[in-house]
Amino acid sequence: MAVALTPPAREALLPVPGVKLGIACAGIRKADRKDLLLMTLAEGAVTAGLFTRNRFCAAPVQVCREHLTAGAPMRAIVVNTGNANAGTGERGLADARAICTEAARLTGVDAQQVLPFSTGVIMEPLPVERVLRGLPQCVTDLRGDNWLSAAEAIMTTDTVPKAASRRLRMGGREVTLTGIAKGAGMIHPDMATMLAFVATDAAMPAGLLRGMLAHACEQSFNAVTVDGDTSTNDSFVLAATGVSGARVEREDGAEYRALRDALTDLAVQLAQAIVRDGEGATKFITLRVEQGRSREECRKVAFAIAHSPLVKTAFFAGDPNPGRILAAVGYAGIDDLEVDSIELYLDEVRVATRGGRDPAYREPDGKRVMQRDEICVRVVLGRGSAAATVWTCDLSHEYVTINAEYRT
């Protein structure tokens, strides 16, 4: 029951020269489902990653950080679903390293050139031997046009595979970006989402790549929430193979801006797809907070609304209960907020002004907006010129069902 989200067409996902993807059914948690992905990167590729700030970060996240700081260029990415390899202690680390070693052996690179990722249940031992046994199948399957299968192979409670492409021209050359993402619950990224991988065939120094990744992440994955739970495995990785020959040299150039904007646009689409497919989601909610003193305070207000179970259940019910939204604004932690200057809109309908209900507000107008599948809540703080946007979904019976039955 994802909100206005359908699987991408296979042909809409553009191969990225220098990138190959191979998929396997490794039986990690369930039989006969795609659950293992190997992505290889051509020699010369540059890679950057952003990872969860959860202190209980998963074993593969720790190994990714090690490998990215060690300095050798990345040549392969391995992702399994069905088990997050998080809260697994020393054994989890050893398992993540064993996967890198085996993937390196099969693809002829060093273990330090492999990035491992896992997603699924937390705190259960990873059945590492199944991952190792599945890797040769992935190698056999390696192809450039395998992005849709790759998106399917990293799903957990996702109901729709999430993938998208962009194409632009840079310096007379054609440049491609294609990315995949997964995530539906435990979504309140603090750095990046559950898992997202974007590749491009543009060429770029590592420093520029990292800056571009951080910019895109801030606008996309760091602006969505499903349930306020920051995952142990959040990762957002960007690889630039350089195969197109189009090269980004300077942060203040037109090429950088064009590629950065295309990446941000793509990341926003993937991040929104995660919310649209949020566990049990029936509504897609945009929270727009304007006229704050800083972007940070606007985000605080937006996330307070987005995390309120009372607001989320009111959206599920299609009930215009703007008092719950105002209450969340009130406890967002902005100590000197003057409620008299605040306005609240549901799409085009102003429901509150000057600390209370808008005298012109009529309940049927609010009701009409709340029946929509996609709703924009706009809060005007009236105390500055900063703004922020956050996307979230409602809280439904289905959310409780999914999470009460997740492991059974």
Give contact residues for its own copies (rule: CB under 8 A). 53-57, 84, 86-92, 121-125, 185-186, 188, 190, 227-232, 307-310, 313-314, 316-317, 319, 321-324, 326-331, 334-335, 337, 339, 352, 354-357, 395-397, 399-401, 403-408
Element (DSSP H or E) covering residue 386: strand 386-393
Tell me the chain's radius of gyration from C-alpha atoms.
Answer: 22
C-beta of residue 107 within 8 angstroms of C-beta of residue 40: yes
C-beta of residue 251 within 8 angstroms of C-beta of residue 205: no
CA-nearest of 373, 35, 15, 41 to 182 is: 35
Element (DSSP H or E) covering residue 204: none
Taking the complex as a whole, the smallest distance from the CB of residue 194 to its own copies amounts, in Å, to 12
SS3 assignment, position 325: helix
C-beta of 178 vs 231, nearer to its own copies: 231
Taking the complex as a whole, the smallest distance from the CB of residue 380 to its own copies amounts, in Å, to 15
Taking the complex as a whole, the smallest distance from the CB of residue 316 to its own copies amounts, in Å, to 5
Q: Which residues sit opposite 77 in a β-bridge?
A: 39, 115
Taking the complex as a whole, the smallest distance from the CB of residue 281 to its own copies amounts, in Å, to 13
The beta strand positions in 241-342, using DSSP E, are: 284-292
Buried/exposed code over 210-233 (b: 16+ C-beta within 10 A; e: otherwise): bebbbebbebbbbbbbbbeebbbb
DSSP code of residue 319: -
Query: Annotated catalytic, 389?
Result: no
Burial of 153 (0-12, 13-18, 19+ CB in 10 A): buried
List the catalytic residue out of 52, 107, 176, 193: 193
CA-nearest of 371, 367, 366, 374 to 393 is: 374
Taking the complex as a whole, the smallest distance from the CB of residue 55 to its own copies amounts, in Å, to 4
List residues with catalytic annotation. Answer: 193
